[in-house]
């Protein structure tokens, strides 16, 4: 059986690593905060002291950290993957980071006969637990084929989208869609609320039509109910949109809508909603419009 390593045991990584164990993979792990490896070790995962040591003893090494500098540090920092990687290793980076930094990392790793595949995911913590994530993979097609069993253990909709960095680019595009759809939901619901239109009625009569979106269907009701529990956190979409905006700048592409909504997500973070779900964008819209989505009586969707 393929030996798999896992680095980055946050909410997403822990759930995905657990699915690898469930599917019978021989799993070794490393995490910056070792305590987080406990539950996986109880289920058979082996702790390894440094990313370099992990890279020397596995066939496929999964990364799931936060941002571009985190990936760089794990790969090329002291005791990092590049120090110990055996020839032929495939690194599967599930983090959401810069597309062009990814291409640079892939080139550097290739010098050690290591293949980097960018494989960012969507589908949230629920998708990670249930193994139903969507995964957009960029990089060498042969390496992609070789790690498909690993990908299929953690995801359902898996697409090889192009060469190195293109998985990250597809994810960046996906985040633009999520962000602007959600801004539409917030502004539409705000106008409804200000005008006294029942929010449930609005959702009922728009969700199935030409204004429909995943965001409207899944986050609209949460906004109406004042439920700010994170599926995906404000801090993380803010990070992702910073990557998107930087990519747009380097491509000389004005992304007016994306930059606007990125600013609004940042404002939500400054208001203290960084660890709330992305639907807390609604709190910024409320502040701008001096209103609340929930009536004083607490009836979220009330007229």
Active site residues: 171
Query: Cβ contacts of residue 163 below 8 Å, gap of 6+?
Result: 138, 139, 140
If one asks whether residue 215 binds a second copy (CB under 8 A), the answer comes out as yes
Rounded CA separation 301/200 (Å)? 6
Give residues 42-101 in contact with a second copy (rule: CB under 8 A).
99
Asked if 237 is part of the footprint of a second copy (rule: CB under 8 A), the reply reads no
CA distance 85 to 292: 54
- The answer to whether 11 and 128 are in contact (CB under 8 A) is yes
Among 228, 244, 268, 276, binds a second copy (CB under 8 A): 244
Residue closer to a second copy (CB basis): 89 or 169: 169
Counting contacts by CB under 8 A, is residue 151 touching a second copy?
A: no
Candidate segments 40-48, 51-59, 104-112, 203-211, binder of a second copy by CB under 8 A: 203-211
Q: Which is nearer to a second copy, 86 or 157 (CB)?
A: 157
Question: Which residues lie below 8 Å from residue 240, measured CB to CB, with a gap of 6+?
Answer: 96, 171, 172, 175
**Segment interacting with a second copy (CB under 8 A) among 1-9, 69-77, 107-115, 180-188:** 180-188
Q: Interacting stretch for a second copy, rule CB under 8 A, among 17-25, 31-39, 144-152, 286-294?
A: 286-294
Among 86, 194, 249, 275, the residue binding a second copy under the rule CB under 8 A is: 194
CA-to-CA distance for 63 and 120, rounded, in angstroms? 10
Q: Does 252 bind a second copy (CB under 8 A)?
A: yes
Q: How far is the CB of 291 from a second copy (least distance, A)?
A: 8
Task: For residues 157 and 120, give the distance between their C-alpha atoms in angstroms, rounded to a whole number.
Answer: 12
289 lies in the binding site for a second copy (CB under 8 A)? yes
227 binds a second copy (CB under 8 A): no
- CB–CB of 158/195 below 8 Å? no
Q: Alpha-carbon distance 191 to 197, whole Å? A: 8
* CB closer to a second copy out of 41 and 253: 253
Are 29 and 3 in contact by the 8 Å Cβ rule? The answer is no
């Amino acid at each position: 059986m393929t030996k798999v390593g896992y680095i980055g045991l946050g909410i997403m990584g822990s759930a995905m690593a657990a699915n690898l164990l469930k599917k019978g993979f021989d799993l070794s792990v490393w995490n910056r905060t070792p305590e987080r490896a406990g539950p996986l070790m109880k289920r058979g995962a082996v702790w390894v002291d440094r990313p370099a040591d992990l890279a020397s003893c596995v066939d496929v090494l999964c990364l799931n950290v936060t941002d571009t500098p985190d990936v760089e540090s794990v790969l090329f920092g002291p005791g990092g993957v590049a120090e110990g990687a055996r020839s032929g290793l495939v690194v599967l980076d599930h983090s959401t980071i810069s597309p062009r930094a990814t291409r640079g990392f892939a080139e550097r790793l290739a010098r050690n006969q290591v293949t980097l595949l960018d494989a960012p995911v969507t589908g949230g913590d629920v998708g990670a637990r249930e193994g139903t994530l969507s995964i957009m993979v960029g990089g060498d097609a042969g390496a992609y084929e070789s790690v498909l069993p690993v990908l299929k253990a953690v995801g359902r909709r898996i697409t090889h989208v192009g060469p190195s960095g293109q998985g990250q680019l597809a994810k960046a595009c996906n985040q633009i869609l999520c962000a602007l759809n959600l801004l539409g939901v917030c502004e539409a619901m705000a106008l409804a609320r200000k005008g006294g239109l029942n929010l449930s009625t609005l959702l009922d009569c728009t969700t199935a039509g030409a204004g429909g979106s995943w965001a409207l269907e899944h986050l609209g009701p949460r906004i109406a109910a004042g439920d700010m529990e994170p599926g995906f956190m404000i801090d993380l979409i803010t990070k992702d949109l910073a990557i998107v905006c930087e990519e747009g700048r380097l491509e000389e592409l004005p992304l007016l809508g994306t930059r606007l909504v990125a600013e609004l997500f940042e404002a939500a973070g400054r208001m203290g909603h960084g660890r709330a779900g992305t639907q807390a964008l609604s709190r910024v819209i409320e502040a701008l419009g001096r209103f609340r989505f929930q009536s004083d009586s607490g009836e979220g969707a009330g007229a």
